[in-house]
Structure 1
Amino acid sequence: MVANYFSSCSTIPALVIIVFFSIYLSTFSLVEAGDNGGGFSVDIIHRDSILSPSYDPSVTHFERLQNAFHRSVSRVNNFMLSLVSPSQVSTLILPANDGSYLMEISFGTPPVKNLAIVDTGSDLIWIQCKHCQNCYKQKAPLFDPTKSSTYQDLSCNSKQCNLIGEGCSPKSNSCNYTYGYVDKSFTNGILATETFTLGSTSGRSVPLPEKIFGCGHNNHVTFSEEESGLVGLGGGPLSLISQLKSSIGGKFSYCLVPLGKGNVTSTLNFGSQAAVSGDDVVSTPLVSMDLATFYYVTLKGISIGNKRLAYKNLLKPNASDEGNIILDSGTTFTFLQSDFYYNLESEVKKSIDGESVSDPSRTYRLCYKADTNVNVSMTAHFSGADVKLKELNTFVRISEELVCFAFIPLPLGYPSVFGSIAQMDFLVGYDLEESKVYFKPVDCSMH
């Protein structure tokens, strides 16, 4: 049943980030933003939250969760396509509509607000620009670079143009780019530099001068009218994280509120504000792989109570187990190799006092009546880090009657993904200079 989803899905929206920023009259430099320099925080919100402009009150919570499941399956499907196309890794990335979160980000001087998808599965930052030859319909006015005093086309001979550029514009020395996604969507336009402006939780705005972005003039994507573009948070050289790397010390973190708290914002932190500290903090190494966009870590096993199940790299059985799972805030559910998953499911069932029941939609494999105690003791053992999961990380309520296991079996050969439900109510910090990821259990609605 699950395998049918993987073979049939071709597009995705997954875990991505809506960031609401208020742009204030007073601005300050990135160095001034935090107590120790380079630190600031912003509020972020899930696209299905009641606070989101994409929120549809006619869709129930359970229907939104069902949609998130299908987006997650599609996202993992496209992870697979990205990984098996190494010759195209510089441009063949997850679909452009792939993101559960959105971000309000301003471009130019004076700043012009745009609402963009934020995606840990891609790198390029781009928005729709005037004059568009082929643009999808959006509510906000198209960005007009001629009205910004800080806009500058990149030369087609520049080092940055060589990253994804494809030569000169016919009438100028400007760098043309085409950035393709695995679902055959794409953005095409001019690669340029501009000042971005982000709001912060301190009430002041943060200008980020001379950052590279794509000024899109031909954009074939399936965005909603609220979304003007995309902000990549991946590990590649053109992502927002990589472009800010020196000024934020290579550090960012996020704290995702549980799905049921739709009227509370999550948090995205940069620099000194992204520090994860305390006695209950654990860390695991980030593993460098061929495709720099994704964040790989090593899963050693998962314990149910005192029973520990070892996790092996079935994607490459004769290779090292290092980097055998992708840590991704853009995928809602957690996906594991099928042989391991079935063993895990068996141990979970043994730990629950009650009979499992069938999901009428045949979407989820393991479900129980909603009044069943499904508070299973589960720990994810990453290399050097034992992450104890709570009930909200392991089971989701899919209807008034049912709760279901938030882990999904993968077809053989697909990359495993540790999704956002498993990360909720954790402060998850990335230190790209030290190549580590940190986990700290917290109440994200209070963080």
Structure 2
Amino acid sequence: MIEWRPISLLVIFFLSVGFDFHGFLFTHANPIRLELIHRDNPLLIGQLPRPKQTQLERFKELVRNDITRHRIISYKRGQWGASGRRNDLELEASIEMPMHSGADFGTGQYFVEVKVGKPAQQFLLIADTASELMWVNCRHGCGNKCGTHKRLFHADRSSSFRPVPCASEMCKVGLADLFRSPKCPSPSTPCGYEFSYVDGSVALGFFANDTITVNLTNGRKMMLDNMLIGCTESTKGQGFLGADGVLGLGYANYTFATTAAKKFGGKFSYCLVDHLSPKNISNYLVFGGERNHSKHSLVGNVQYTKLLLGVIPPFYAVSVSGISIGGKMLNITPSVWDVNAGGGTIIDSGTSLTLLAEPAYTPVMMALELAVSAYDRLVSDDGPFEYCFDSTKFNESLVPKFAFHFADGARFEPPVKSYIIDVAPQRKCLGFVPASWPGTSIIGNIMQQNHLWEFDLGCHKVGFAPSSCT
């Protein structure tokens, strides 16, 4: 991905103020869902055109984005305080938001349909568990000269749109660490932000509050009032191709995830279909317990592990104890998994592949290379993967099982296709990328696929279970 100045990814707004869900009253019956839209879904027709890519070209671009994203994550390592508010809102339904893959636009991420303003205007935003702000490309204060472009949020047409004044306490204190611009020529001037990226991409705009309309699982709609959004008035570069903005799902005070989750049981979940699924397959980003929608619920072989919230803000960190291949634990130095020693692991929807810090990457690759050594190795053609082979006679059942082991006993065992991946016809590759050490290891969205993931922010745990996600 692309990188902020001083650091951020695609749309990572690093916030140093903490957030804690302790004390919330979770009494909600049903969830809200956002559909996960596959990259070939017809709903994406009409978006900005993108040159046709081969599967290998697509993976090359995803790896470049992932490596940049990892640099950003490794750079930002700090501590938060903690604060929280009680919320006693009781709902009879939960949020359900359509979510679609954006891989054809080179993001390696998923798009979510979001309706902003009154009356509602609909956009496709990138669902990013590493981002701290929801922002959308927008126009404000231009009256009849705003034009009619459907991919822009016309703020003047929203009766609930309220810019945050730069002289307000919210701007000066609450948004101080959210890349707020220091400029304040008059008390009523909107509180601005400016983001720059290492690839030259730039996003400039200002903070505001507006209404977000969501679909509920009981068939009704609900308006979430006074949600913090970013009104991005100009962008430069190719970093946002195919998207209208970003839906912040990171763990921080003003993200959509924390705001929506605390209204709906303190939980949100998603299930990512296989990245090679047919174009008509999609899924949902859900806020709530999903009690009345069993196909999106954690049922059957469910495991839970602790979420280390606030340890590597704003990411969802987990405590890994080791990796096994074929039931045998690999010899990996424990410091790789220790946040206090410069290591640690996060679960990230915005990174495509799985990045392992060098002391873990090397033994994993050695073990898997041995497992596939019977197949003809293919010479790299400047591709992103270290080890690829001819998969003409590949037998998946002979591949030893790969598993992440968590400190509290849980074990995540993804399907073989999530770590030995198809990158071109008759070509498979070991789907890992080395990460610098010291540094953070990342469980990316391809590794997460075909599992339902439920982030319980109130109980500080994440649950996962195998699922077809359909």
Q: TM-score range by the shorter chain?
A: 0.7 to 0.9
Q: Structure 1's 185 and 266: CA in aligned 2 closer, same or farther, altered over 3 A?
A: same
> 1:286 is paired with a residue of what secondary structure?
strand
The structural deviation recorded for 1:138 is: 11
Shift of 1:271: 1.0
1:284 match: 305
Distance 2:217 2:57 in 1: 32
Match for 2:162: what amino acid? Answer: Q
Cα deviation 1:36-65 (Å, max 9, x = unaligned): 446211211244666534574732333223
SS in 2 for 1:102: strand
Supply the AA of the counterpart residue of 2:32: F
User: Does residue 270 of structure 1 match 2:280?
Assistant: no
CA–CA distance in 1 between the matches of 2:459 and 2:8? 34
Q: Is the 8 A contact 1:102 1:118 kept in 2?
A: yes
Of 289, 302, 322, the match for 1:301: 322
What is the rounded CA distance, in whole Å, between the counterparts of 2:11 and 2:190 in structure 1? 31
Q: In 1, are the aligned partners of 2:356 and 2:432 still within 8 Å (CA)?
A: yes
The Cα shift of 1:328 comes to 0.4
Identity %: 24
Amino acid at match of 1:365: E
Change (3 A) 1:160 1:208: farther
Q: Measured at CA, do residues 316 and 424 of structure 1 come closer, stay the same or move farther in structure 2, by a change above 3 Å?
A: closer
Q: Which of 372, 376, 394 is residue 400 of structure 2 equivalent to?
A: 376
CA distance in 2, matches of 1:14, 1:159: 21
Change (3 A) 1:47 1:119: farther
Paired residue for 2:212? 196
Residue pairs, 1:141-220, within 5 angstroms: 142-155=152-165, 156-159=167-170, 162-164=173-175, 165-166=180-181, 169-180=184-195, 183=198, 185-199=201-215, 204-220=220-236
User: After the TM superposition, which of the residue ranges 111-120 and 344-353 deviates more from structure 2?
Assistant: 344-353
Give the match for residue 120 of structure 1: 129
Mark the runs of 5 or more structure 1 residues left unpaired by the alignment: 1-5, 16-34, 88-96
Aligned residue runs from structure 1 range 40-55, under 5 A: 40-47=32-39, 52-53=44-45, 54=47
Distance of 2:152 and 2:260 partners within structure 1: 25
Aligned to 2:374: 354
- Note closer, same or farther for the CA distance 1:396–1:318 as it changes in structure 2 (3 Å cut): closer
Deviations, residues 265-314 of structure 1 (Å, cap 9, x unaligned): 13211112288533411111111345421111111111111211254454
- What root-mean-square deviation, in Å, do the aligned CA atoms of Structure 1 and Structure 2 show? 3.5
Does the C-alpha gap of structure 1 residues 48 and 74 become closer, same or farther in structure 2, counting only changes over 3 Å?
farther
2:456 to 408, 424, 431: 431
Which is worse superposed, 308-317 or 63-72? 308-317
- Say if 2:378 and 2:390, in contact at 8 Å, map to a contact too: no
Mean alpha-carbon deviation: is it higher for 428-437 or for 359-368? 359-368
Q: Is the 8 A contact 1:138 1:228 kept in 2?
A: no
Which residue number corresponds to residue 365 of structure 1? 386
| Deviations, residues 69-128 of structure 1 (Å, cap 9, x unaligned) | 222222212222334x889xxxxxxxxx96612222121111112222222111111123
Query: What secondary structure does 2:250 align onto?
Result: coil
Q: 1:14 to 1:414 in 2, by over 3 A?
A: farther
> Structure 1: which amino acid aligns with 2:314?
T
Aligned length: 405
C-alpha contact 1:80 1:415 (8 A) present in aligned 2? yes
Seen in structure 2, the aligned counterparts of structure 1 residues 376 and 205 have a Cα distance that, compared at 3 Å, is: farther
* Aligned equivalent of 2:97: none
CA distance in 2, matches of 1:180, 1:442: 38
Q: For 2:64, which of 49, 67, 70 is the aligned residue?
A: 70
User: Mean alpha-carbon deviation: is it higher for 51-60 or for 204-213?
Assistant: 51-60
